[in-house]
Structure 1
Amino acid sequence: MSTNFFKDNNDLKFYVEKQIDWEPLIELTEYKYKKKDGFKNSKEALNFYKGVLDSIGEFSAKEVSPLASQIDLEHPYLENGVVKFPQVLENIFNKIKKLELYGMCLPTEVGGMNCPFLVFMLSNEIFARADVSVTAHYGFHGGMAMAMLLFSIMEGTTTFDPKKMEIQKTRFQDYIKEIIDGDAWGSMDITEPGAGSDMAALTTQGYQDDKGNWFVDGQKIFITSGHAKYHFVIARTEKRDSDDAFSGLKGLSMFLVPAFEIDKKKKRTHLATFDGVEDKMGHHGSATVSINFKKSPAYLIGQRGDGFKLMLQIMNNARVGVGFESLGICEAAYRMAKSYASKRESMGKTIDQHEMIADYLDEMYSDIQGIRALAVQGAYHEEMAQKLNLMLKFMPPEKESEKKDIEKKQKYHQERSRHLTPLLKYLASEKAVEISRRCIQIHGGYGYITEIGAEKLLRDAMVLPIYEGTSQIQSLMSMKDNLMGILKDPKKFLEKNAAAYIQTIRAPSPIYRRVAKLQILSYKALQFLMIKLAGKKFSEMTKKPFSEWESFFKEWDPKKDFAIAMLHAERLTRIIADVAIVELLANQAQKFPEREEVLSRYLERAENRCKFLYNEITKTGAGLLERLSVKGKIKN
């Protein structure tokens, strides 16, 4: 059994030690090394980050993983209006508190370690390999404290001293300190009994009294770590237009709502009530809570109507986080399956030497390496985009040319993050289910009984494609972004297509020519859907050159005109995700020749997978669309 979940993972260490471009990220994190108590160079900082990951790796392997089955059996419970953890969880989170990990990414001036958010995400994978429900609750400490700081910066209630290179004060400083100290945590309250993915249908109300004080009324359900003291609540402050299903998003605002207060004598006063803790299939170490707000005092974040925009800030990071959680489950399932298969003998040899099982294990590991490439780059671009934005706000360069250069970089990282995040959330969560399911199959009958723990991994994985935005929502986001990108700039799309065709001939080796061919296949899938959409909306568009379609963009409504593409959104997302991964692995192979084998193994499976998906996109669905177009419900 491993004693360190960081040290035993060579692929993870490759990213930390070689692949991640730490210098620009550390420079931004350390305020260009001008901070008095900060690190003096990137090497010094990186050694510290490695030490943090090493400590978490050892803690996860020795203190969390051996207790996974006990965590699964002993659930959080509601007692006299208070949600309580069983002793096994109390002990784990008290130990995390002693390790001072709750403030990992917070600036030192508010009591944190000032690590990059990427280090926190890497720690999520390590924790999730031990027990994903522990990871979930752990994340609602530092993650929510970071959200408090970020929102305060966005609304202008944080002051920064550019000479001392430090934050002087921030709006929720006392709350942040309480979380860093391990005495509180937060939650993100969106879902209601009648509204989940359709946020426009939310009914929880935010309103003011005569003195201008804000209050919140309503019920929220399925809230992870919802027994928190501090709740980011999305509530309606403006009326919605009944004739416009999407107008409801404009009337949403965000509030920070304390659910209770505790005085010096430890007496608790409830400002909201916890209705119950859900009895779930998995994630038994994480409390999923229903909350009732009734005239609960609230603090408006930003401006009225900013709720949806602010929610996306949290959700982007949360979706990247789920990608790393999923990766941890994939890693745990693969290692469990591999260990069993290497010991279980059948027909004269261990089953890992049987062709089908060997193929399963090979695909599982290749998938994990691909997902990790996607996860690390997605997290990196998201953090770089946010920190460059903060640099422009607090430390803008004097020269206009330098400012424009930073703005250009920020836009690049933001676009890359927007492209990769839904792909990561979709693929990682779906693969967590697939790989943990395959782990059970490799164990045979032993996988079906609870003693081994394989079935626990599957139960824990099942929620990952559902929470923080379902797989279907992720695929719709990716599909719309890619198709709208073509509409906005068809010439750029054609140029990328042409460049890929050139690479199929001129690329320096056959493997890179294969990468280019896969890129072309994804472009063909996008172009097929565009032509189908155009034919449906503007029959005359199909008679014009593709590069002239830009003129029709102003008449295109992405909320109404993508019905045909929605049918194939998941298939398209799988293709685009595979292409994104082989592009990342190809870039790695060019810098690190030893990674060409990783690319080759992934590409071998991706090529045939994408061809199959492309055929499904181009050759199926016509009958279903025809039945959908007929008034009334489909009869199966």
Structure 2
Amino acid sequence: MKAKGNFFLDNDDMRYQILQEDKLHELYKLFSSDEKEALGVSTTEEFQSLWLEMIESVGEFAGTQLRDNAAQVEKEDLVLKDGKVEVPPTMQSNVKTFVELGAHALSVPIKHGGMDAPILMELAGSEMIARACPSTLLNVGWYSSIANIIALFGNEEIQSMFLPDMITGEVSGSMSLTEPDVGSDLASMRSYGEEQEDGTWKIYGSKQFISNGSGGLSLVLAQNKKGAKGLKSLSLFVVPQELDGKANYIVSKIEEKPGLHGSATCALQFDGSKGWLVGKNGLGFKYMSLLMNEARLAVGFQGLGLMEACYRLAKDYADQRVAWSKPISQHEMICEKLLDMEAEIKTFRSLLYRGSYYASIVHFMERRIEDKALGDERTKELEKEIKNYQRKLREWTPLLKWWSGERSFVIARTCLQIHGGYGFTKEYQPEWWVRESLIISIYEGTSEIQALMCIKDTIKDIIRNPRRFAESLVAARMKALAETDAIKKRYYRIKLTYLNSIVTLVMKLMKQNVKGTFNENKSSDIIGLLKKLRETLVTFDNISPALLNASRICEMKAIVALSKAAVEDGERDPSRRSFALRFVNRWYPTMLRNKAELEWDDEQVAAIAQSKDDIAQASEG
């Protein structure tokens, strides 16, 4: 492994995924002439060089200062004093260098002082920072994301008030959603705002588990009046931590955590805090959803960086540790683990980078439409393309977040196992990485929330397009039989196993919701069944079998998407076929196991869930 002082130059796979499919060339075409001039580029080659040089600078920062400081960050404590967080000197140094690089405002629009970087490039930087020091990522990762929401939805007054300090790096920001006893169920949120005569708002309530809650300002999601409930009454407010040198809201607690020791996870108290409405009243959930979806992609990159760090740590140790006259990396069981880790990481990176590329494409296509400089025909073309990219992003985002959360822990745990007894000591890094991995399946929507999003969207899609689903099932059956290429054949079997599992799930839903007899092997019966289900599942009240198997379906759907990405990489580059073959062979048995588990009717869980539903309905009555 070369260039160990630079986390970009020592990772050829990052460069490969950034450059393949002409990603930067396609993005360059979506920049306006004024934007290109502001960036100082006039050709695709210059555009590409600009971002590769920037990401190389971040790689140098991550591979030197952040890597060297990570252990000290773990030792230094955050201190809560007078409602504010005092950040230790090592973290202050890390953040200061990051800001001096100009990397904190990469994706902020040029007109506000940023560089308009594609989110693909910004998140590639996040991967390297996470590989070095996850706590630092949680300190620097909010500048652009918060600033972009203010730039996109805030009026000129709000933009002029808050963006300059974010661009200079004096303020970073946070996202305040979670409340005590109110996590993902945002409709039950109790914090609220009261509009004042001068157009500002007073914000009341408590927020909990707020990453970087000491960042100087917070985007607060709250009800637009006291006692309101539901998503349609949620509004988004920008609330500065201080006004005129006095506290506007306070940090009431810093959470003690097993990981992210250098990142302040805060409880915030708003007691008449002065805030400004962002965008329109009642559209807060819509605005925050955009930020949450991007944050979920970012957590995917955090997990990827952690996986990369753990793989390299395990590989280096296994190459050096000798047992029975040879390195343990040459012993079969350890060798298998390392090869599986490498193939999984490369495959995950492929799909994750593609997802962030699609997010970049959507962003700049929407901007060109907003410019209103295009003709009607070109505008319609872009709108159609945007819908296609958004559809894939909606499908992939929960899968990528789920995979990052569930698999980063497993890879960290495998790294520890390969180190043996040394891995269980604080002298070595694996135990630290295990602790750092624990949060990834929790924040920005738990793995269970991602699975619920996945299963509901999956059911909606197939009952709205039953014929397309049936045709996909028939095509997969034919290709699984006819394909002669070993990698593609295994991929089609993976896809067929997933689709057959969906059929099994649909049959379970049919038993609860539809009277009649259906043959799951006949396409016409499947189409008819799905049409009947469409009539009965409008409110999604009776989908217990689907909810029970949501995590299984989410994992299977992720394996299908990842396998396809691996196969396509292998088709473009024959040197990557070995990774594709390893991935599809490794994960096919998991598909079969999930299918077998899905076919079992867990009556105990169903009975408990039904009894809870009955109690809830009775209390509502």
* CA positional deviation for 1:249: 1.8
* Of 353-362 and 622-631, the range deviating more from structure 2: 622-631
Alignment partner of 1:588 out of 569, 575, 583: 569
SS of residue paired to 2:15: helix
Q: For 1:95 and 1:397, how far apart are their aligned partners in 2?
A: 41
Q: Aligned runs of 1:59-78 on 2, under 5 Å?
A: 59-78=61-80
TM-score by length of 2: 0.93
Q: Hey, what does 1:227 align to over in structure 2?
A: 214
Whole-angstrom CA distance in 2 between matches of 1:170 and 1:39: 31
Tell me, in whole angstroms, the C-alpha distance in 2 between the residues paired with 1:46 and 1:115. 11
Shift of 1:32: 8.7
Please state if 1:497 is matched with 2:499: no
Sort the Cα spacing of 1:585 and 1:396 in 2 relative to 1 into closer, same or farther, 3 A.
Answer: farther
Q: Distance in 2 between matches of 1:31 and 1:513?
A: 46
Residues in 1 aligned to 2:446 and 2:38: alpha-carbon distance in whole angstroms: 44
Measure how far apart 1:275 and its partner are: 0.7
| Structure 2 residue aligned with 1:191 | 178
Amino acid at match of 2:56: D
Aligned to 1:299: 276
- CA-based RMSD: 2.2
Which digits, 9 at most, give the CA deviation of each residue in 1:203-247, with x for residues without a partner? 001111345431110010110000122211010125778xxxxx6
Mapped contact 1:240–1:248 kept (Cα < 8 A): no
Query: 3-state DSSP class of the match of 1:28?
Result: coil
Structure-1 residue corresponding to 2:191: 204
Deviation, 1:619, is: 2.5
Residue pair 2:234, 2:285 contacting (<8 A) in 1 also:
yes
Residue 240 of structure 2 is matched in structure 1 by 258
Alignment of 1:180 with 2:167, yes or no, is yes
Which deviates more, 385-394 or 283-292? 385-394
CA contact (8 A) 2:190 2:227 kept: no
Stretch moving more, 606-615 or 498-507: 498-507
Q: Please tell me the residue identity of whatever aligns with 2:339.
A: D
**Contact conserved, 1:33 with 1:40, CA < 8 A, in 2?**
no
Structure 1, unpaired ranges of 5+: 158-168, 242-246, 263-267
Of the three residues 526, 545, 569, the one matched with 1:546 is 526
Conserved in 2, the CA contact under 8 Å of 1:69 and 1:453? no
> Secondary structure of the residue that 1:445 maps to in structure 2?
helix
**Which amino acid is 2:294 matched to?**
N
Map 1:544-583 to 2 at 5 A: 545-548=525-528, 549-550=530-531, 552-583=533-564
* 1:377-396 matched pairs, under 5 angstroms: 377-396=354-373
* Alpha-carbon spacing, 1:621–1:20, altered in 2? closer, same or farther (3 Å): farther
Give the aligned partner of residue 432 of structure 2: 456
Equivalent residue of 1:102, what SS?
helix
2:402 counterpart of 1:420: no
Matched, 1:529 2:531: no
The amino acid of 1:411's aligned partner reads K
1:163 is aligned to none
Q: Which residue of 218, 225, 233 maps to 2:205? A: 218
User: CA–CA distance in 2 between the matches of 1:120 and 1:37?
Assistant: 16
Distance 2:539 2:216 in 1: 39
320, 344, 351: which is aligned to 2:328? 351
Query: Where do 1:276-355 residues align within 5 Å?
Result: 276-355=253-332
Residue 48 of structure 1 aligns with an amino acid whose one-letter code is L
The 8 Å contact of residues 447 and 453 in structure 1, kept in 2 or not, is answered as: yes
Q: Name which of 335, 340, 349 aligns with 1:363.
A: 340
Q: Is structure 2 residue 579 aligned with structure 1 residue 598?
A: yes
Does the C-alpha gap of structure 1 residues 34 and 122 become closer, same or farther in structure 2, counting only changes over 3 Å? closer
Q: Distance in 2 between matches of 1:123 and 1:630?
A: 48
Query: Cα deviations across residues 456-484 of structure 1 (Å, max 9, x unaligned)?
Result: 11111101100000000001101111111
Match of 1:274 in 2: 251
Relative distance call for 1:75 and 1:554 in structure 2 (3 A) is: farther
TM-aligned CA distance change 1:170 to 1:486, over 3 Å: farther
Q: Is the 8 A contact 1:187 1:226 kept in 2?
A: yes
Call closer, same or farther: CA 1:239–1:227 in 2, change over 3 Å.
closer
| CA shift for structure 1 position 129 | 0.4
Q: Secondary structure at the match of 2:491?
A: helix
Aligned partner of 2:445 in structure 1 is 469
User: Matched residues in 2 for 1:484 and 1:541: separation?
Assistant: 22
Instruction: Tell me the amino acid that sits aligned with residue 412 of structure 1.
Output: N
Q: In structure 2, which of residues 482, 485, 492 is the aligned counterpart of residue 516 of structure 1?
A: 492
Q: Matched residue of 2:105: which SS?
A: coil
Aligned to 2:458: 482
Distance in 2, Cα, partners of 1:553 & 1:271: 50
Q: Does 1:90 align with 2:71?
A: no
Letter of the 1:546 partner, please give it. Answer: I
Aligned counterparts of 1:484 and 1:313: Cα–Cα separation in 2: 21
The aligned length equals: 608
Report the residue type matching 2:553 in the other structure: L
Secondary structure of 2:20's aligned partner: helix
- CA offsets, 1:323-361, max 9 Å, x none? 000011111111111111111112222111111111111
Q: Deviations over 1:382-435 (max 9, x none)?
A: 22223222222223522x332221111000000010011100000012111111
Amino acid at match of 1:125: E
Post-superposition Cα deviations, 1:557-576, rounded to whole Å, max 9, x if no partner, equal 35423221111111111111
Q: CA deviation at 1:365?
A: 1.4
Range with greater deviation from structure 2 (118-127 or 201-210)? 201-210
The aligned amino acid for 1:197 is S
Q: Which amino acid in structure 1 is aligned with residue 306 of structure 2?
A: I
Q: After the TM superposition, which residues 127-142 of structure 1 pair with which residues of structure 2 at under 5 Å, given as runs?
A: 127-142=129-144
Matches of 2:149 and 2:33 in 1, distance apart?
A: 20
Give the whole-Å Cα distance in 2 for the aligned partners of 1:27 and 1:337. 42
Change (3 A) 1:588 1:452: same
Equivalent runs, 1:19-168 vs 2, <5 Å: 19=21, 21-30=23-32, 35=37, 38-152=40-154, 157=155
Deviates more, 1:367-376 or 1:185-194: 367-376
Query: Secondary structure of 2:117's partner?
Result: coil
Residues 107-134 of structure 1 show CA distances to partners (whole Å, capped at 9, x for unaligned) of 2232212221110000000000001111
Secondary structure at the counterpart of residue 408 of structure 1: helix
Cα separation, 2, equivalents of 1:613 and 1:551:
26
Moved more, 217-226 or 365-374: 365-374
Distance 1:554 1:115 in 2: 45
Change in Cα spacing, 1:569 to 1:62, as seen in structure 2 (3 Å) is: same
Separation in 2 of the partners of 1:212 and 1:12? 47
For 1:612, the equivalent position in structure 2 comes to 593
1:36 offset after TM fit, Å? Answer: 5.6
- Give, as a single letter, the amino acid of the residue that structure 2 aligns with 1:498: V
What CA distance in whole angstroms lies between the structure 1 residues aligned with 2:537 and 2:320?
Answer: 59
Instruction: Give the structure 2 partner of residue 373 of structure 1.
Output: 350
- When residues 632 and 98 of structure 1 are mapped into structure 2, their CA distance, relative to the original with a 3 A threshold, is closer
Contact 2:188 2:230 in 1 (8 A): yes
Q: For the Cα contact (< 8 Å) 2:200–2:277, is it kept in 1?
A: no
When residues 477 and 229 of structure 1 are mapped into structure 2, their CA distance, relative to the original with a 3 A threshold, is: same
Asked whether the equivalents of residues 30 and 38 of structure 1 are also in contact (C-alpha less than 8 Å), the reply is no
Cα distance in 2 for partners of 1:130, 1:629 equals 47
TM-score for both structures, normalised by structure 1: 0.91
The structure-2 alpha-carbon separation of the partners of 1:240 and 1:412, relative to structure 1 and needing over 3 Å to count, comes to farther
Aligned-residue offset at 1:282: 0.6
**Partner SS state of residue 183, structure 1:** coil
1:75 alignment partner, SS class: coil
Q: Deviations over 1:248-304 (max 9, x none)?
A: 222211111112135xxxxx2111111121111110111111111111111112222
CA distance in structure 2 between the aligned counterparts of 1:53 and 1:287, rounded to whole angstroms = 26
Identity, % of aligned positions = 30
**Equivalent AA in structure 1 for residue 265 of structure 2:** T
